[in-house]
Structure 1
Amino acid sequence: MPWLPCLAVVVVGLIGATASPVSAATVDELYQSQTIVTGQGEENRQIGFKACLDAVLVRVSGDQRLPKRPDMAALRDKAGSFVAGFRYHDRLEGIPVHDEQGTHDRPHDLTCLYKPDVIDPVLAALGSKPRLAERPRLAIFLVAEQGARHFALTADDQRGAPMRESFANATGPLIMRIVFPEASLLSASKLDDRSLSHADMATLDQLARKAGADQALAGSIIWSDKELGWIADWRLAMNAKAYRWQVRGVSFDEAFRVAIRGAAQVLSGNGQPE
């Protein structure tokens, strides 16, 4: 199995890997979401509206549990009524049409725009609320292992380039911000890929600030032949409490999406990631 990630399609919410922190100037950015649909027909648009509703509620609140609530079914049935505007982008733009179906079946990014005075009452009805505070910048302390190969992910190690790109892509749906530590920072702290796995979060939070971040998100990702995918463990501390969560048998991309979703869950005050 190569070190390249399994490039699963990011279906919902990928709007920018380095989005600005949320503030009054970026409320419009916060209250939008994106999904991939086939063509621009009404039937697929309605399907897209449902996916975008799920995504924007999570994006605004940070609460990953909302799409699983039973009352979401009724909200999805009228998902289009919450949309203030939408736009399409042809994912094959610039590639000539080469079949008899023309543009009908071409994949498009569907971006849905929402208004706070529409979405906030929906969140309230679900027992949630918007998270408008600036997102903290997270320093990623990650150990990767595949068979005999293992290393700590740093900003300047070429082995980690695909991982860094995949991790950055995972931040867009939730407008999170991340940095990767320089190798020199780890070595100066006498940390390598073995000791990093056991470093306490207080130490890593201190290193995160030296790396230009607010706090640390630590983890490991290990290839498992048995699981036919990666096993990823994540940890983050908030208010003197340590949170841990795991995902098994997934692609690189999904492992990093789980990391960011879990961090958003904790940082937004919504408790333990699932």
Structure 2
Amino acid sequence: MQELYPWTRYVAIGDSFTEGIGDPEPDSPGGNRGWADRVAEVLGHSTEGFAYANLAIRGRLLSQVHSEQLEPALELRPDLISVSAGGNDIIRPGSNPDEVAHRVEALVAELRRDDATVVLFTGPDIGMTPVLNRMRGKVAIYNENIRAIAQRHDAVVADMWSLRELSDSRMWAPDRLHFSAIGHHTVARMVLKSLNVSNELEPFRPEPLPPRRWREARVEDIGWAREHLMPWVLRRVRHQSSGDNVSPKRPGF
């Protein structure tokens, strides 16, 4: 017997994580698939007339998600909303995780005004990520705030911090900032579990990776810094965004 779920209209808002960057798929709108598309596909299989919109745009800061995506999302009258915003703010030098979380709570309060189910995300454990691992403590503080916000507003927490599979390098795209296809797949399984939705998405069962020599790892780190880290830093300095001139991939139902 097919299970029935209470949601018929799902809207995803946020940044590159929700847009699906790192999971290229030429046949998907915008050229990327991602975890949110996978969640919508599972929910759509069980619900006749299910509708899905994705307003997320790469590079967006929390203030931009609030100003650009909140009202268009609510105008679609969703009964399920996922929001992942604030990550780009947290990794900026000098950011305050408590202040960012305070602004997230204001956004969540507005998203809950029509009693939609709201899904929030904790940040992943970035302790194994070069450069970004220096911000691990800030992410941990931010995550505790997210859990408290969810409790106050009766929201669902999709807990990436506790998803230990994400420590595997195969979960990450070559830029080490976004998830790979298998990473997005794994996050989708976790989100569905958080919503208590059964699914047939296969868990990740990797073969052990061969050990890497120190010199080989350093060469890879240098190549990564040149190809991915420096362009990211330069965009920050120039106040540019990878999402400049990018439109939502699924702006409506």
> Same-fold call, TM > 0.5?
no
Q: Look at both structures and tell me which one has the larger radius of gyration over its CA atoms.
A: 1
The structure richer in helix per residue is: 2
